[in-house]
Structure 1
């Protein structure tokens, strides 16, 4: 059994925020990416109802772009799920639906990043991301 640490903290090592990305089980009838969601954990919390505590996570969603992996890389591409105002969609999920960590890498265009671009802004700055394979 493998163990991973999923982090959602405002200050990682006292400097920058860290909100890890995850694969979320969506539809067990589909294999691979077609049955999974990709999300970014904003925070972990517990909700109590009728004396039962439910461990949950507030997540921001990404959607798979296209019906198949990218031809050149073999990796799936995801985009942030945005509402009509351009705000990324969020929801609360039970942590039992979290499958594992996901690693997102920007799909870089043909322009250079500004010299003062900081890595901590990556997941808020691009419109498309490659996602690692399972």
Structure 2
């Protein structure tokens, strides 16, 4: 009637395999969550900085073409580690609307530019376009 009340070697090995499998799965889940977080942080930074870059590009473009007959302009800028290179091409160049009864016509001074932007952040490049009205 003397029985051992311990675990056999086989039971201990099976428990160890289950434990280490669970630890390995938890480690992979943590690793993928960390990677996803890093990607989300980079995207959030890009989408937070880009509106400020667009405002700076509009300001720069308007200063470059102010009171000049320029059909193309370009520039570069860097904000918070993101490098922006832009090129603007004039699509429309008009004068203000005139009165139907008047013979007076004003010079062309209103322009709409299509701006193409290339942004570079570390190893990633993105492009986008927008339009700017100038006068």
Query: TM-score, normalising length from structure 1?
Result: 0.29
Query: TM-score, normalising length from structure 2?
Result: 0.29
More strand by proportion, 1 or 2? 1
Q: Bigger radius of gyration, 1 or 2? A: 2
